[in-house]
A and B are shown apart, each in its own frame.
Chain A
Amino acid sequence: MAPDDETPRRTRVVLGEVAARSRPADLTRTDLAEQTPVGEALVKGLMRAQLALALRLALVVVIALGALPLLFVAAPGVAEFKIFGIYLPWLLLGVAAFPFLLVVGWAYVRWAERNEQDFIAVIRRPER
């Protein structure tokens, strides 16, 4: 599975320009595996991107759901609002909260996978 398991193959010496195009992919992988400063910086970048994404979406939930108890206390009129004969707090907490959470989760999965693909792209074609 790992490239260094294989016995080193004979390599042809070619023009520096061509070599520069084909080798860095392996070098970046090695950077990752051997924890060179470059590899470490790459992983840190990925972690920072993923954490920032998670925190941003968590903030959305904290603002949207976490503020509700305060809102009901601060503005009791909101809680007396009716839609289809049902009080707003019942609709918000009993029904709307669940699709909302699902949408936030869906957005996270989408963007987190995109972050990872960007990361893979950096590792695979660093020269671009």
Chain B
Amino acid sequence: MNPYVVPGLVVVVLVTVGIGVYGLRFARTTSDFLVASRSVSPAWNAAAISGEYLSAASFLGVAGLVLRYGVDVLWYPVGFAAGYLALLLFVAAPLRRSGAFTLPDFCQVRLGSLTLRRLASIFVVFIGCLYLVPQLQGAGLTFTTVTGGSYVWGALLVGVVVTANVALGGMRAITFVQAFQYWLKLTALAVPVIFLVLQWQSDGRPAVTPTVFPTATTVTVEQDAIIAGTPVQKGQILSYEAGDEVPPVSTVDSTFGTDWLQPSGNSTLFATYSLILATFLGTMGLPHVLVRFYTNPDGASARRTTLVVLGLVGLFYLLPTLYGVLGRIYTPQLLMTGRTDAVVLLLPEAALGGGHLGRLLAALVTAGALAAFLSTSSGLLTSVAGVVFTDVLHGGRAGSVRDFRLATVLAAVVPILLSIYASNMDVSRVVGLAFAVAASSFCPLLVLGIWWRRLTDVGAIAGILIGGGASMAAVLITVLGPPLHGWFAEFIGEPAAWTVPLAFFVMVTGSLLTGRRVPPDVGATMLRLHAPESLRVS
């Protein structure tokens, strides 16, 4: 095993806990815990938002997907970044001005309905868990890949560190932790990629297609499959020479040749547009993203912060693509084993050899992966705990710090247990589904709530129940149900293309039918959402 990995991981955990404890010295009131007393500067805030956002799916998953499917999946990083543009255009400044800390708060401010608030809380917890479980699973899988230890320990370790950090330091502390982790994640991908590209140059720029083994490789078959048309049995050992073409394996879904290099035809057009819709519109509905906007001092700075985030996130997403492409050259055996998510972790040693440089860079990348799990799960946990704190424990703003800690532990237990018992759920797919649910429940609520005066509580509830409920059902069928086939599978597996319009349609129709229920103070609310703070009159 790589001797640098364990010290690297220990340093990341120690620095995370250290900054958390340092933040604890300043965290005195419940307000400090929840919103950092609204005194975080835009630069810190933007780095923190980016650090929180770039999860296991971005750090490991995107490169793995590119390795497998090629140009078609570049829509994932583009969509993950473009989500912030949609957030900036339609939501950022008015949401900050609404003074809402969580999505349920926004429901209360805008429509004053307790039922809607409860419904929103359920969706926040559902989306939060849906997003938290794969983070912990990713942590477990990384732990297994790098150390050879057990999956359960990896998931538990990250779960406990995150819970302790959020419960002890709260938001103030994790703002600094998240900002640190953004720069760590960027460094962890950017520094190795320089060496990787130099190595590729000195190797005489090997071509990406056709996909060949760079060195002689032996593969042990772990389950019955059909490799290049020939059936193989479990336990069989296959040897390949350097320069042999990597054969397609029936149990691993991947593309080769021009399918990988070129955008695929109209067969996947529905899935592509569904993915675009889910990622573009889903970001604004993710619970841990919205919480951050409350830490901006005013609406204009919320907008500027979002713009900086767009830049930071876009900068980061230039890198995973390179890992996916270089992985095609240096670690093609992953296409046979199917563990493509490990490409970022394995590439430095595969390309640069097992010397000190390769091992050091591998340790750096692993530390970055750990930062990805820690930061996203911290943010998710804070927001889910915030909702549990205010809406389940009825703590309200005057609740005690002890109650917030209790809420954190409560919010952490279920996802940690789920991640241990549901270890075979597909990581990147579940993250995409979380975006679909967010896009078809909270996106219409936020956009219509901010820009349309005639939205009513009944319309909003109906829209969330039908649009969000449909996507939630599609997620549960995809994750728990039997494998589906044909157009129906695409329909259920990528639900956003029909659930998002459905949610908007139901919300608008429902509001128009119950026009008498438009809140009487909607004018005052709209003034508060849209007028610059310098004109605050009330």
Contacts and interface: CB of A to CB of B under 8 A. Distances in A.
User: Of B81, B93, B527, which is in contact with the most chain A CB atoms at under 10 Å from its CB?
Assistant: B527
A69 interface: yes
Interface in B482-538: 523-524, 526-527, 530-532, 534-538
A95 B269 CA distance: 22
A43 B523 contact: yes
B99 interface: no
Contacts, number: 129
Q: How large is the interface on B (under 10, 10 to 19, 20 to 34, 35 or more residues)?
A: 35 or more
A105 B307 contact: yes
Interface stretch (B259-267, B327-335, B381-389, B396-404): B259-267
A106 B523 contact: no
Interface in B417-471: 451
B534 A65 contact: no
Contacts of B261: 87
Given A65-B78, A94-B318, A120 B310 contact: no
Contacts of A87: 71, 261-262
B74 interface: yes
Contacts of A89: 71, 74, 262-263
Interface in B286-327: 300, 303-304, 306-307, 310-311, 314-315, 317-318, 321
Contacts of A76: 262, 265
B265 A73 contact: yes
Nearest to B321: A94
A113 B300 contact: yes
B156 interface: no
A26 to B, nearest CB: 10
A97 B81 contact: yes
A61 B191 CA distance: 32
A69 B318 contact: no
Contact of B532 (A73, A80, A95, A116): A116
Nearest to B304: A109
A43 B531 CA distance: 7
A89 B70 CA distance: 11
Interface of A: 1-2, 29-30, 32-33, 35, 39-40, 43, 46-47, 50-51, 54, 57-58, 61, 65-66, 69-70, 72-73, 76, 79-80, 87, 89-90, 93-95, 97-99, 101-102, 104-106, 108-109, 112-113, 116, 119-120, 123
Interface of B: 71, 74-75, 77-78, 81-82, 84-86, 88-90, 93, 261-263, 265-266, 269, 272-273, 276, 300, 303-304, 306-307, 310-311, 314-315, 317-318, 321, 451, 523-524, 526-527, 530-532, 534-538
20 contacts: A1-B536, A32-B535, A33-B537, A47-B530, A58-B89, A66-B273, A73-B265, A73-B266, A76-B262, A89-B262, A90-B321, A97-B78, A98-B314, A101-B85, A104-B85, A105-B84, A105-B307, A106-B307, A109-B88, A119-B535
Given A35-B523, A46-B530, A116-B300, 5 more contacts: A1-B536, A39-B527, A50-B530, A101-B310, A104-B85
